[in-house]
Amino acid sequence: MIHVICTITIAPGRRDDFIAEFNGIVPEVLAEQGCIEYGPTVDVDTGIERQAPLEDSVVVIVEKWESLDDLKAHLVAPHMNAYRERVKDMVENGHLRITQPA
């Protein structure tokens, strides 16, 4: 199993637009071969002392895939290319952390 944590910094005032656009592709992605979990998350104020500072401009995508090949196929899927084009002006930067169970 492959875990993906994608941290995306969103342009000011565009977080809701980004999340709406992202949620539009979730059903297509969940239907892809090997997709176990796929969804956006945002910071929640918990009052837990060790929690990192809250960031209103960050969306964290949590993904689980059956295999690395499934993830690689997802990254080049036509609906993902179209999605990236639609959100390019909303995204300031982003990075992936790809892990596997230890």
CB 26 within 8 A of CB 39: yes
Mean residue pLDDT across the chain: 97
**Calpha distance 8→41 (Å, rounded):** 10
Q: What pLDDT score was predicted for residue 18?
A: 98
Calculated CA dihedral for residues 85, 8, 33, 68, nearest 10 degrees: 120
Q: What is the CATH number of domain 2-44+54-99?
A: 3.30.70.100
- Sketch the domain layout of the chain as residue ranges: 2-44+54-99
Mean per-residue pLDDT pooled into runs of 10, the chain (102 residues): 98 97 98 98 97 96 98 97 97 97 96
